[in-house]
Amino acid sequence: MHLADKNSQVNAGPFYEDFSVGQVLKHSRGRTITDTDNIWFTLLTCNTNQIHFNKDYAERNFSNPPFNGRLVVNSLLVLSIVIGLTVSDISQSGIMVGITNLKIINPTFSGDTLYAESEILEKRASKSHPNMGIITLKTKGYKQDGVQVMEFERTVMLRKKGKSWV
């Protein structure tokens, strides 16, 4: 690793000090889900529920609202994308150490665009890593029409400003 690379990593935030309890972050990026995203993720993870990859099955068994015969996006893909939408604003200089209270509120379908919003619930210095702090946040995922699809709490260990990982 070049010295310039190391310095840019040390100076890349956000950092523990950049957050306060009660702070709400509306993450600016969105991500549209495609059938390909859903089918590849589902098959990659060995999920055999045909609602994610068999259109004929979905049409025959889930023809009523809200499904209307459509393939349902795998909820773990939705979770992964919603978390990903938050990284540049929250955990770019840290690591996730836990996730709790995951709730899937509404289904997501191909063509839906996901957005995220997070609220900082707790903040404390790390006892075991003095260069780090720990935040707990609640993140909500929404579709393009404002319908909430999920929510969860996540705990992230973040570097403090000017500190290295060790």
Digit-coded pLDDT (tens) for 80-98: 999 999 999 999 989 999 9
Q: Does domain 13-33+74-159 have CATH number 3.30.300.30?
A: no
Q: What is the largest CA-CA distance in the chain?
A: 59
Q: Helical H runs in the chain?
A: 3-10, 35-44, 55-61, 75-86
Digit-coded pLDDT (tens) for 56-81: 999 999 999 999 999 999 999 999 99
Question: Which residue type is seen at 95?
Answer: I
pTM of the predicted structure, to 2 decimals: 0.91
Question: Which residue type is seen at 10?
Answer: V
pLDDT category at 137 given cuts 50, 70, 90 is: very high
Closest CA to 163 of 137, 140, 130, 134: 130
Instruction: Kindly report the backbone phi and psi dihedral angles of residue 54, in degrees, each rounded to the nearest multiple of 5, phi listed first.
Output: -120, 100
**Cis status of the peptide bond prior to 66, with omega within 30 of 0:** yes
Structure tokens at 51: 């609602």
143: left (phi over 0), alpha (psi -120 to 50) or beta: beta
Looking at residue 10, its pLDDT comes to 52
Structure tokens at 5: 């690379």
Structure tokens at 90: 């929250």
> Is residue 52 predicted with pLDDT exceeding 70?
yes
